[in-house]
């Protein structure tokens, strides 16, 4: 038994065919040539980073974006070769690639498998083509079906399907139909998030900033190249209210659990043995290294974020001081921040946080830091203690923003304590 530290890798591919109307991820359209140049630079970053992590074993890899499936599949082969050359990757590592059904051609799938990828995450969002169009997605439900079946035929035995509820104008019936159609396909994992309005997106501008009368869209941000959808989209449906969102959440939870999917996190469901190891690592505070444009990392208690401007990223020389420049400022988390994050992320898990893990991590019992707040929230019916775990109740999930805010610690007290010491 060696003593390698466990590490997760996140690899960012920032390209998409077009921007979805709700999306604030670091992603954009790019010509083939630029994609190839970026992938060359990403491989240099990987090859230069590997030696710094010789004491680590990579347990999970997540190739996300953007849309990794937009690339020629040979790029994924080269990418994985660089990873295997630079890092010690566990034999049973979970290796996921995200794919958009609009770009998942059948010929790409065997190449992914041969490159060692063993999990596919398909962004479907809805089985209703009207809703897909409303979100600015480039694909239809039929495209997804083709991709899903091709993936099964190619030999993928671990597939996630991403779904989205609370799409403007979506009815409970329509959400039910999406869930039922996807359940019938028996993917191993389903993520079901509610739409979140982000500032700076077309949805954000419409719904948050300018009110519902605003109907004009910046060029290039609408779900159609020729702009033919503009008129249709000018009739933007109303947002759902909180109660409707909550009903959709319960519907998903009930239907998925009935169908044998275990809810292991607020928005994630899996068949037995298929919970996403990469995300669990993230929620339980495991260290991860982000590679590629704008990717963030958490290593040795430090957080850092890669350069997020493509021009600047492409100019870095990784054989010199490129890695230093890439990572920019390091943020060393204080103990207070680490404790807060431990609670925020851990309580998203259905199992909750482990009191023993808290003690292992911070050298103090959880009650000595959070005893008062835990007792109060438990009394209010928002938390429950099961043996050594502390988890949100159903009501706690409903008002999770409030519950999680109760775990913020007093920064002033920490500073005063530091000075005393």
Footprint on this chain of ligand SF4 (rule: CB under 6 A): 16, 19-20, 23, 25, 27, 65-67, 100, 123
Min dist. Cβ of residue 402 to ligand SF4 (A):
29
Calpha distance 302→288 (Å, rounded):
10
The contacts of residue 78 (CB under 8 Å, 6+ apart) are 39, 43
Min dist. Cβ of residue 326 to ligand SF4 (A):
22
Q: Whose Cβ is closer to ligand SF4: residue 27's or residue 127's? A: 27
Min dist. Cβ of residue 143 to ligand SF4 (A):
13
Min dist. Cβ of residue 158 to ligand SF4 (A):
20
Q: Whose Cβ is closer to ligand SF4: residue 16's or residue 275's? A: 16
Min dist. Cβ of residue 130 to ligand SF4 (A):
17
* Secondary structure class of 387 (helix, strand, coil): coil
> What's the token pair of residue 165?
């509820």
Q: Whose Cβ is closer to ligand SF4: residue 65's or residue 396's? A: 65
Count CB atoms within 10 A of the CB of residue 269.
Answer: 27
Q: Whose Cβ is closer to ligand SF4: residue 50's or residue 290's? A: 290
Torsion over CA: 252, 254, 259, 263 (sign): positive
Using alpha carbons, select from 224, 229, 131, 138 the residue that is nearest to residue 171. 131
Q: CA separation (Å) from 293 to 8, 74, 131, 198?
A: 17, 20, 30, 20
- For 297, half-sphere exposure in the C-beta direction (CA atoms, 13 angstrom radius) is 23
Using alpha carbons, select from 353, 135, 109, 278 the residue that is nearest to residue 270. 278
Min dist. Cβ of residue 139 to ligand SF4 (A):
9
Min dist. Cβ of residue 321 to ligand SF4 (A):
31
| Strands 331-332, 302-305: pairing kind | antiparallel
Please report how the helices 411-420 and 335-346 are oriented relative to each other, as an axis angle in degrees rounded to 10. 140
Q: Whose Cβ is closer to ligand SF4: residue 66's or residue 281's? A: 66
Calpha distance 274→179 (Å, rounded):
18
Q: Whose Cβ is closer to ligand SF4: residue 31's or residue 213's? A: 31
Torsion over CA: 290, 296, 298, 300 (sign): positive
Min dist. Cβ of residue 89 to ligand SF4 (A):
25
Min dist. Cβ of residue 98 to ligand SF4 (A):
8
Where helices occur in 7-128 by DSSP H, the ranges are 32-49, 73-86, 108-114
Calpha distance 47→85 (Å, rounded):
8
Phi/psi region, residue 363 (left: phi>0; alpha: psi -120 to 50; beta: rest), is: left
Q: Whose Cβ is closer to ligand SF4: residue 130's or residue 257's? A: 130
Q: Whose Cβ is closer to ligand SF4: residue 66's or residue 346's? A: 66
Q: Whose Cβ is closer to ligand SF4: residue 192's or residue 403's? A: 192
């Amino acid at each position: 038994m060696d003593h390698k530290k466990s590490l997760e890798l996140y690899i960012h591919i920032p390209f998409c065919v077009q921007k979805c109307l709700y999306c604030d991820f670091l992603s954009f359209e790019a010509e083939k040539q630029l994609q190839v140049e970026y992938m060359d630079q990403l491989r240099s970053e990987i090859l230069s980073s590997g030696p710094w992590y010789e004491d680590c074993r990579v347990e999970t890899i997540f190739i996300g974006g953007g849309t990794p499936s937009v690339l020629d599949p040979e790029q994924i082969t080269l990418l994985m070769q660089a990873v295997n050359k630079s890092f010690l990757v566990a034999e049973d590592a979970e290796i996921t690639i995200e794919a958009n059904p609009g770009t998942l051609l059948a010929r790409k799938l065997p190449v992914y498998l041969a490159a060692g990828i063993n999990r596919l995450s398909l962004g479907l969002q809805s089985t209703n083509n009207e809703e897909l169009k409303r979100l600015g997605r480039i694909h239809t439900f039929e495209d997804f079906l083709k991709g899903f079946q091709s993936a099964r035929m190619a030999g993928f035995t671990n597939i996630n399907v991403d779904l989205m509820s609370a799409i403007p104008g979506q009815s409970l019936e329509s959400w039910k139909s999406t869930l039922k159609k996807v359940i019938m396909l028996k993917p191993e994992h389903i993520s079901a998030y509610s739409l979140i309005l982000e500032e700076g997106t077309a949805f954000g501008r419409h719904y948050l900033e300018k009110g519902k009368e605003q109907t004009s869209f910046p060029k290039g941000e609408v779900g159609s190249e020729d702009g033919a959808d503009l008129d249709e989209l000018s009739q933007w449906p109303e947002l759902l209210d909180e109660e409707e969102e909550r009903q959709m959440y319960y519907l998903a939870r009930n239907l998925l659990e009935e169908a044998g999917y275990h809810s292991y996190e607020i928005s994630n469901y899996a068949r037995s043995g298929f919970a996403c190891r990469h995300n669990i690592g993230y929620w339980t505070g495991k260290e991860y290294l982000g590679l590629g444009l704008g990717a963030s990392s958490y290593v040795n208690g430090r957080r850092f974020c890669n350069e997020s401007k493509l021009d600047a990223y492409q100019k870095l020389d990784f054989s010199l001081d490129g890695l230093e420049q890439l990572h920019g400022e390091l943020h060393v988390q204080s103990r207070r921040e680490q404790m807060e994050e431990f609670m925020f992320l851990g309580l998203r898990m259905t199992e909750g946080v482990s009191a023993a893990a808290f003690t292992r991590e911070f050298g103090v019992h959880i009650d000595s830091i959070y005893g008062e707040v835990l007792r109060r929230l438990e009394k209010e019916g928002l938390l429950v203690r099961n043996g050594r775990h502390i988890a949100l109740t159903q009501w706690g999930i409903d008002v999770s923003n409030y519950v999680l805010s109760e775990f913020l610690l007093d920064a002033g007290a920490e500073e005063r304590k530091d000075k005393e010491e």
